[in-house]
Amino acid sequence: MRGPLIPEDYLGRRARIYGGERALLAEVLPPGVDAGELLEELAALARTAGVHVLGTIVQHRPKPDPATFLGQGKAGEVRDLARERGADTLILGSEITPAQARNLEERTGLKAIDRTQLILDIFAQHAGTREAALAVELAQLEYLLPRLRGWGQALTNPGGGIGTMGPGETRLEQGRRAIRRRIQAVRRQLAKAAQDRAVQAARRRREGPPLVALVGYTNSGKSTLFNLLTGSDALVEDKLFATLDTRVRRMALPEGVALLADTVGFIRDLPHALVPAFQATLGAVRDAAALLLVVDASSPAAEDHLRVVREVVAEVLGGRSSPPVLHVLNKLDLVTTPEREATLARLRKEAVPHVAVSARTGENVDELRTSLYALLVRRGTPLPTLA
């Protein structure tokens, strides 16, 4: 049975996460697929956005319902659980269509947000540089445009005029036109920012020490390793996307110095709309003389994370050849169980060349500096001495 119609949303307010929501998580998976890790990551994303997670619901079926994503019966379960626990938001682990979001909201009485929108809003909350903020805003606007809603005369603006859709133009159409204008303005500003970034990168390559970029899956320990190698005090949090803006510091090597850049963590199924935001924050990857690819060796999903990072790096490079890569198998201090030892053994074969370290305890970090130095020397990269 349908619930009451949700409020009109011609400004797209219901397609956003603002922090403080009380949410249920839900996912549809094929029969036999374990939802454990997927829902753990979704819950971590929700907490990063400031959402209180009150429960999870999984439905196993060959494919999502085309009308409501969740089937009718499962949508009813969500509605009842939300009333019992006081939830106001439903976060889906997969991307849903605007129609599915509307239908789900009508059946459950909850604001329906998918994983893509959740990640977009996390980026919006944490982007610190002007270019990153613009890239995220553009992704949000393009994602929001088809999700504006309205149902007719209640939204009608009786005043017409030049540039409108006639005397009965709706507030919905006004909102869409305003978003399209803003999209064009943001694209122009991003193009100018990209030109400025290219000039700065060229100057840095001519005048400064070589740049080494830390890349890795989110929460793999990159910022802890960055602090250890540079003597910095960058933010370290047990959250996804704790680092969004690239930080660059000097790093001492056995002979000479290099610049080390800490970059935003990657994630599986990165929303395609966010690739430009990654381009804005990952200029260091394109400009780097070498990459330190950090993997959490204690994670059961380490091999999957390694694959994801390689795919995102390739997309960011956009067809350019990759700088040489030194794999860093991190969190060695947590590799204690037979299962983790087996994961580490497989990684040693797949991640070549590599160094296994613990950024938390400092184990093997000197070996990491030596291996990186040797990699740069083999490449013929000049290393200025520490002044």
**Domain of residue 106, residue span:** 1-150+169-206
According to DSSP, residue 221 is labeled S
Residue 162 maps to a domain:
no
- Burial class of residue 377 in the structure, from the number of CB atoms within 10 Å of its CB (0-12 exposed, 13-18 middle, 19+ buried): middle
262 lies in the same domain as 328: yes
Query: In this structure, are 1 and 144 located in the same domain?
Result: yes
Residue 375: pLDDT over 90: yes
Say which CATH number the domain at 136 has.
Answer: 3.40.50.11060
Residue that is last in its domain, among 177, 206, 235: 206
Let me know whether 199 and 249 are in one domain: no
Of 201, 144, 200, nearest to 175 by C-alpha is 144
Q: How many domains does the chain have?
A: 2
- Type of residue at 125: Q
In a domain, 230, yes or no: yes
**pLDDT tens digits, 280-299:** 667 778 888 999 999 999 99
Tokens for 176? Answer: 């869409």
pLDDT of residue 89: 93
Question: Are 243 and 186 in the same domain?
Answer: no
31 falls within a domain: yes
8 Å CB contact between 328 and 292: yes
How do residues 249-260 score in pLDDT, each as one tens digit? 899 999 889 999
Q: Is the pLDDT of residue 363 over 80?
A: yes
Which tops the pLDDT comparison, 160 or 241? 241
231 vs 239, residue with greater confidence? 231
pLDDT digits (tens, 9 = 90+) for 193-228: 878 877 776 776 666 788 999 999 988 998 899 999
Sign of the C-alpha dihedral computed for residues 116, 117, 121 and 122 taken in this order:
negative
Q: Are residues 368 and 219 in the same domain?
A: yes
Pair 141, 221 in one domain: no
Q: 346 near 303, Cβ under 8 Å?
A: yes
Confidence band of 324 (pLDDT split at 50, 70, 90)? very high
- 163 is a domain residue: no
Please report the DSSP string for 68-119 in residue order.
Answer: TBS-HHHHHHHHHHHHHHT--EEEESS---HHHHHHHHHHHSSEEEEHHHHH
Say whether pLDDT at 145 is over 70.
Answer: yes
* CATH number reported for the structural domain that contains residue 335 in this entry: 3.40.50.300
Residue 322: is it exposed, middle or buried by C-beta count within 10 angstroms (0-12/13-18/19+)? middle
Are 199 and 236 contained in the same domain? no
Same-domain pairing of 372 and 335 = yes
Sign of the alpha-carbon torsion through 327, 330, 336, 337:
negative
Domain presence at residue 161: no
The model's confidence at residue 18, banded by pLDDT at 50, 70 and 90, is: confident
Same domain, yes or no, for 245 and 189?
no
Domain membership of residue 158 (yes or no) is no
> What is the average per-residue pLDDT within 94-119?
89
Q: Are residues 243 and 372 in the same domain?
A: yes
**Percent of the chain, pLDDT > 70?**
82
**Would you say residue 156 lies in a domain?**
no
* Per-residue CA distances from 253 to 123, 216, 227 (Å): 33, 21, 15
257 and 282 share a domain? yes
Residues 184 and 234 in one domain: no
Q: Which of 24-33, 92-101, 131-140 has the lowest mean pLDDT?
A: 131-140
- pLDDT at 347 (0 to 100): 93
Q: Is residue 288 part of a domain?
A: yes
Q: Identify any residues that bridge with 352 across adjacent strands, giving them in sequence order.
A: none
